[in-house]
Chains A and B, each alone.
Chain A
Amino acid sequence: MTAINTRDPLPPDGMPGCALPGTALAGVLPGINACVHCGFCLQACPTYLNLEDENDSPRGRIFLMRSLLEGTISPDDQSVHEHIDRCLGCRACEPVCPSGVPYGQLLEATRATLLESRRIPHVARLILAVFARPWALRPAMFFSRILAATPIPTLMSGMRGRIGFAMAMLASTGRSIERSPYRASGTGERGTVASLRGCVMEGLFTQTNRATERVLTMNDYTVVEARGQQCCGALHAHAGDLETARKLARRNIAAFDGSGASFVAVNAAGCGAAMKEYGHLLRDDAEWHERAESFSARVRDVSELLAAAGPKPGGSMPITVTYDAPCHLQHAQRITQAPYAVLAAIPGLELIPLHDSDQCCGSAGIYNLIEPETSDAVLAPKLANIRAAGAPFVATGNPGCLMQIGAGLVRDGIGARSIHPVDLLDASYAALGQ
């Protein structure tokens, strides 16, 4: 077979008799070698805990990767594809790994290498194609917004299967929190910020994007626009389509560099994680690597920027909230405290702890549409814990989680809604003048 990515050089400490030389997978051999099979990752892995098979665990999948390189498993083997596809990519295994295995990178490289012997599933291919093309994305999101404003998604959310769930996801996006318009102002002295609009965020969570700009302004950042920005490419990289991911990364680097902003603010944890890794994504691109590294160093989750500024307290808002940590915020970006600082800036807000709030909700980008069965099994305990917490709002800073949890709440008739922490802070600032 031919190598998928001929730019990946053979590693200096390459495996003797490697069955897949020159592939993206061979390029991450040092990361695979760092695994000593201790098993400390097992209990952190949502798919292992649900499916109870080590083929669906981090150390098992790393062993599959090693076996692919050793040639003891063929890249055409159907079961390997299944186990690699079933990984949520939540990266909960990374912060517990004593050897620091960069699991997320290994997974992307494996998927890229396996693309040689199969194609991405139809549903995923369609979604990825739309996301990579602004001329297709805009009308798709426009249509979704129109649909979300009608009662149709709610009516169809009771349907079985992924159509019903997709409708429940859409229905959940229409439910945020009431707030009156206010004029955001600040000194702007904390530096210039350009925010990533994103595909889903700008398409379905438009109000959260505007709220992001307002709360940053309120906390003394100067918000500027980065023209020409596109989808961050996270979903493409997760699916193994590294070429498209790189193309999108280069466009975004150019767009944000052009804005002259000191920081790139991201309110979608998955996108932020991907953009913080542009340096790794473009590591073999002589022309772009350095720019990518310096770009990644400027990327911040919106909660980081807000926490650095305090954030400034808002107006009183007597509501009860529970918080669920997005995997790509806590595991990939290792940010755990900043979202709590955002919520703490809202006087009157009562925070109810959510049991197992560090566990994945099963969204994982478009995983819930590709692997509905496993996704639902992972979601079930999350919904039970939210029900037990009894708060009417579940705050979480990632569109995938907002929709996955939101859809589960709609489908199961639980009296709570998912909401971005920034929307809560924005509502609190709106309450200041009243």
Chain B
Amino acid sequence: MQKPPVAERLADIVGEKHVLSRQSELLVYNSDGLPGYRRQPRLAVFPGTREETIKVVRVLAADGLPFVPRGAGTGLSGGALADDVVLLGLHRLKKIISLDVANMRATVEPGVVNLRLNRHVAPHGLLYAPDPSSEAACTIGGNVAENAGGPHCLKYGVTLNHVLAITALLPDGEVVELGSATGERDGYDLRGAFIGSEGCFGVALDVTVKLTPRPETVRTLLADFMSVDEAARVTSAVIASGIVPAALEFMDGPTIRVVEDSVYAAGYPRDAEAILLIELDGLRAGVDADLETVRAICLGGGARAVKVAKDDAERMKLWQGRKKAFGAMGRLAPHLIVQDAVIPRTQLPAILKRIHAISEKYGVVVCNVFHAGDGNLHPNIAYSADDPAESERVHKAMTEIMTACIEVGGSITGEHGVGLDKMGYMESIFTANSLNAMCELRGAFDPDRRSNPGKVVPIHSCREWHGVASARAPRPLSAEPSHPAVA
């Protein structure tokens, strides 16, 4: 007897309205936070419970169908795009399963929004430290997939440092426990391997996170500069002083002005060429002393003024401006391309000069807003993808910026992931052996390569793939793209 079509079987599990198969309804899922890329899913399915998720993945496994996990679709690397395959949305799994205040940990479903978790634990004097700028929308599952960072990862570390355990659903439908809620590790750290696997190793059914006590004192400084170079040098000087700020963020003139035009206007000086947002936290006595040291470094390094937020409301305002900066780029043009290179901090002044020269060469406006403290650059260019000539110039400029970052010893991504967007750079920073090792690691979780196909590691880098593609291919719905291509 012939099986009913997969859409029908999935609808039996999750309900008809949570399976989309009409082309017109799938369109909105054809891009994530980087709308210059568009890939149309063949089908979208949104399970509402853990049990439904397991059943859905088992149906897909039985049919050998590839799928792409997706959280809130706020990623900036095209990682959640499904090219003619099934899109598995996990945003409906949004239960906070448990909160253990005494042991400072919480277990949540993957669709829980980062900020919602933080609001939930705040009354207990706790916080979940990783705070990506998209915290108001992005999900914990997506944070795990991308090993998300955020301004405060300078002092507190990234998602990897705050996830204790994961119940993972492997692409073949098997449920496995990775890590342990106590944080102890026996054997190889498979939890660590899963975090940052960009959906290529399966999906999380629940995530146990470590919570952090709120610091006694938090002070936020705004230092403004009339030169990008001075701000870059001060960044290095602050870190060199031995102080570890909770966050040290950089915004250049064009970014400042875009933010100041928005509802998130934070009172940044519009005429400045750069600002640094520096946050210090900890015990009051230490923070006060550090504050004076940092203030002196800023003023000595050429800062025009250093302002300290007088209360929490003003602090929040300063941060909202920074965190919503990407979203505000729509004031310049409808599409946005963002890079995520990490370079040695001492190279900041030189690389910012290079970026400026490249932007002039191609006639594009680069906005720089980034985590300066750890050298994590986010050059972004707003442009119109409807204009092919402009798109080409923008992409050439970005490629040249990335090449420059790699030349000074940088990596291609700090927190956004490789996804589709940066796959083309993988071979310029990893040897063939390293890439093949990644392929083999993936094989341990997803031997058929059905989970998020065509992302992160170019398929031709996998040694066993050569020459036997047809024999190994898991009946893909379409060929996997091997290089990023921009719509």
| Subset of 26 A-B contacts with CB under 8 Å | A33-B384, A36-B326, A37-B31, A38-B330, A39-B33, A39-B72, A39-B74, A39-B138, A43-B113, A43-B115, A43-B116, A43-B137, A52-B46, A53-B18, A53-B25, A54-B28, A55-B20, A60-B28, A63-B27, A64-B24, A67-B24, A74-B24, A80-B24, A83-B25, A96-B136, A100-B262
User: B326 to chain A: which residues have CB within 8 Å?
Assistant: 36, 38, 98
Q: How far is the CB of A385 from chain B (nearest CB, A)?
A: 16
Given contacts A43-B137, A80-B24, contact A36 B46 (CB under 8 A): no
A72 within 8 A of B: yes
Report Cα–Cα, A57/B137, bound state, in Å: 12
Q: When the two chains form their complex, are residues A43 and B331 in contact, meaning their CB atoms are under 8 A apart? A: no
Q: When the two chains form their complex, are residues B28 and A39 in contact, meaning their CB atoms are under 8 A apart? A: no
Report Cα–Cα, A83/B48, bound state, in Å: 20
Closest Cβ neighbor of A44 among chain B residues: B136
A97 within 8 A of B: yes
Binding site for A on B (CB under 8 A): 17-18, 20, 22, 24-25, 27-29, 31-35, 46, 48, 72-74, 91-92, 113, 115-116, 134, 136-138, 259, 261-264, 324-331, 333-336, 382, 384, 386
Given contacts A36-B334, A52-B46, A79-B24, contact A99 B136 (CB under 8 A): no
Residue pairs across A and B with CB atoms within 8 Å: the count is 116
A344 within 8 A of B: no
A77 within 8 A of B: yes
Q: How far is the CB of A141 from chain B (nearest CB, A)?
A: 38
**1/0 contact string of A147-168 vs chain B (CB within 8 Å):** 0000000000000000000000
Q: When the two chains form their complex, are residues B330 and A73 in contact, meaning their CB atoms are under 8 A apart? A: no
Q: When the two chains form their complex, are residues A97 and B263 in contact, meaning their CB atoms are under 8 A apart? A: yes
Given contacts A43-B136, A79-B22, A97-B327, contact A52 B113 (CB under 8 A): no
User: A97 to chain B: which residues have CB within 8 Å?
Assistant: 263, 327
Report Cα–Cα, A64/B20, bound state, in Å: 15
Pick the contact of B327 from A36, A67, A80 — CB < 8 Å?
Answer: A36
Closest Cβ neighbor of B115 among chain A residues: A43
A112 within 8 A of B: no
Closest Cβ neighbor of A36 among chain B residues: B330
Pick from A33, A38, A43, A53 the residue with the most CB of B within 10 Å: A38
Q: How far is the CB of B486 from chain A (nearest CB, A)?
A: 15
**1/0 contact string of A255-291 vs chain B (CB within 8 Å):** 0000000000000000000000000000000000000
Q: When the two chains form their complex, are residues A100 and B263 in contact, meaning their CB atoms are under 8 A apart? A: yes
Q: When the two chains form their complex, are residues A37 and B24 in contact, meaning their CB atoms are under 8 A apart? A: no
User: B331 to chain A: which residues have CB within 8 Å?
Assistant: 34, 99-100
Q: When the two chains form their complex, are residues A40 and B324 in contact, meaning their CB atoms are under 8 A apart? A: yes
Q: Is the interface of B mostly helix, strand, loop or mixed?
A: loop
Report Cα–Cα, A36/B338, bound state, in Å: 12
User: A73 to chain B: which residues have CB within 8 Å?
Assistant: 24, 27
Closest Cβ neighbor of A29 among chain B residues: B334
Q: When the two chains form their complex, are residues A98 and B137 in contact, meaning their CB atoms are under 8 A apart? A: no
Pick the contact of A53 from B46, B115, B136, B330 — CB < 8 Å?
Answer: B46
**1/0 contact string of A91-134 vs chain B (CB within 8 Å):** 00001111111000000000000000000000000000000000
Closest Cβ neighbor of A67 among chain B residues: B27
Q: How far is the CB of A402 from chain B (nearest CB, A)?
A: 28
Pick the contact of A98 from B138, B264, B382 — CB < 8 Å?
Answer: B264
Q: When the two chains form their complex, are residues B28 and A98 in contact, meaning their CB atoms are under 8 A apart? A: no
Given contacts A54-B73, A73-B24, A101-B330, contact A37 B33 (CB under 8 A): yes
Pick the contact of B330 from A39, A43, A96, A99 — CB < 8 Å?
Answer: A99
Pick the contact of A37 from B35, B264, B382 — CB < 8 Å?
Answer: B35
Report Cα–Cα, A336/B187, bound state, in Å: 56
Q: How far is the CB of B19 from chain A (nearest CB, A)?
A: 11
Closest Cβ neighbor of B28 among chain A residues: A60
Pick the contact of A40 from B32, B92, B136 — CB < 8 Å?
Answer: B136
Report Cα–Cα, A98/B264, bound state, in Å: 7
Binding site for B on A (CB under 8 A): 15-16, 32-40, 42-43, 51-55, 57, 59-60, 63-64, 67, 72-74, 77, 79-80, 83, 95-101
User: B137 to chain A: which residues have CB within 8 Å?
Assistant: 38-40, 42-43
Q: How far is the CB of B140 from chain A (nearest CB, A)?
A: 14
Report Cα–Cα, A83/B33, bound state, in Å: 21
Q: When the two chains form their complex, are residues B28 and A36 in contact, meaning their CB atoms are under 8 A apart? A: no
Given contacts A16-B386, A36-B35, contact A52 B91 (CB under 8 A): yes
Pick the contact of A35 from B324, B330, B386 — CB < 8 Å?
Answer: B330
Given contacts A16-B386, A79-B22, contact A34 B334 (CB under 8 A): yes
Q: When the two chains form their complex, are residues B330 and A98 in contact, meaning their CB atoms are under 8 A apart? A: yes
Q: Is the interface of A mostly helix, strand, loop or mixed?
A: loop
A-B CB proximity, top 9 nearest: A99-B330, A98-B327, A38-B327, A98-B328, A36-B330, A33-B334, A60-B28, A98-B324, A37-B35
User: A40 to chain B: which residues have CB within 8 Å?
Assistant: 134, 136-137, 324, 327
Report Cα–Cα, A317/B83, bound state, in Å: 64
Q: How far is the CB of A29 from chain B (nearest CB, A)?
A: 9
Closest Cβ neighbor of A49 among chain B residues: B94
User: A38 to chain B: which residues have CB within 8 Å?
Assistant: 33, 74, 134, 137, 326-327, 330
Q: How far is the CB of B357 from chain A (nearest CB, A)?
A: 26
Report Cα–Cα, A220/B334, bound state, in Å: 49
Q: When the two chains form their complex, are residues A34 and B330 in contact, meaning their CB atoms are under 8 A apart? A: yes
User: A95 to chain B: which residues have CB within 8 Å?
Assistant: 263
Report Cα–Cα, A37/B29, bound state, in Å: 11
Closest Cβ neighbor of A94 among chain B residues: B263
User: B335 to chain A: which residues have CB within 8 Å?
Assistant: 36
Pick from B18, B27, B324 the residue with the most CB of A within 10 Å: B27
Q: When the two chains form their complex, are residues B386 and A15 in contact, meaning their CB atoms are under 8 A apart? A: yes
Closest Cβ neighbor of B31 among chain A residues: A37
Closest Cβ neighbor of B380 among chain A residues: A36
Closest Cβ neighbor of B387 among chain A residues: A16
Closest Cβ neighbor of B48 among chain A residues: A52
Q: When the two chains form their complex, are residues A52 and B329 in contact, meaning their CB atoms are under 8 A apart? A: no
Report Cα–Cα, A57/B91, bound state, in Å: 13
Q: When the two chains form their complex, are residues B27 and A72 in contact, meaning their CB atoms are under 8 A apart? A: yes
Q: How far is the CB of B342 from chain A (nearest CB, A)?
A: 22
Report Cα–Cα, A83/B28, bound state, in Å: 12
Pick from A43, A74, A101 the residue with the most CB of B within 10 Å: A43
Pick from B74, B134, B384 the residue with the most CB of A within 10 Å: B74
Q: When the two chains form their complex, are residues A33 and B73 in contact, meaning their CB atoms are under 8 A apart? A: no
Other than the known A57-B28, A64-B24, what 15 A-B pairs have Cβ atoms closer than 8 Å? A33-B333, A36-B382, A38-B33, A38-B74, A38-B134, A39-B72, A40-B324, A43-B116, A52-B48, A54-B73, A79-B24, A98-B262, A98-B327, A99-B329, A100-B262
Report Cα–Cα, A38/B115, bound state, in Å: 15
Report Cα–Cα, A343/B50, bound state, in Å: 46
Report Cα–Cα, A227/B333, bound state, in Å: 46
User: A35 to chain B: which residues have CB within 8 Å?
Assistant: 330, 334
Report Cα–Cα, A133/B92, bound state, in Å: 45
User: B115 to chain A: which residues have CB within 8 Å?
Assistant: 43
Pick from B22, B32, B92 the residue with the most CB of A within 10 Å: B22
Q: When the two chains form their complex, are residues A63 and B28 in contact, meaning their CB atoms are under 8 A apart? A: yes
Q: When the two chains form their complex, are residues B25 and A55 in contact, meaning their CB atoms are under 8 A apart? A: yes
Closest Cβ neighbor of A72 among chain B residues: B27
Q: When the two chains form their complex, are residues A99 and B262 in contact, meaning their CB atoms are under 8 A apart? A: yes
Report Cα–Cα, A73/B28, bound state, in Å: 11
Q: How far is the CB of A258 from chain B (nearest CB, A)?
A: 36
Report Cα–Cα, A73/B22, bound state, in Å: 11
Closest Cβ neighbor of A62 among chain B residues: B28
Q: When the two chains form their complex, are residues A36 and B329 in contact, meaning their CB atoms are under 8 A apart? A: yes
Q: When the two chains form their complex, are residues A33 and B330 in contact, meaning their CB atoms are under 8 A apart? A: yes
Closest Cβ neighbor of A51 among chain B residues: B17
Closest Cβ neighbor of A334 among chain B residues: B263
Pick from B32, B136, B138 the residue with the most CB of A within 10 Å: B136
Report Cα–Cα, A268/B82, bound state, in Å: 46
Closest Cβ neighbor of B331 among chain A residues: A99
Report Cα–Cα, A357/B230, bound state, in Å: 46
Q: When the two chains form their complex, are residues B24 and A99 in contact, meaning their CB atoms are under 8 A apart? A: no
Report Cα–Cα, A311/B329, bound state, in Å: 41
Report Cα–Cα, A283/B387, bound state, in Å: 29
Closest Cβ neighbor of A32 among chain B residues: B334
Report Cα–Cα, A107/B259, bound state, in Å: 25
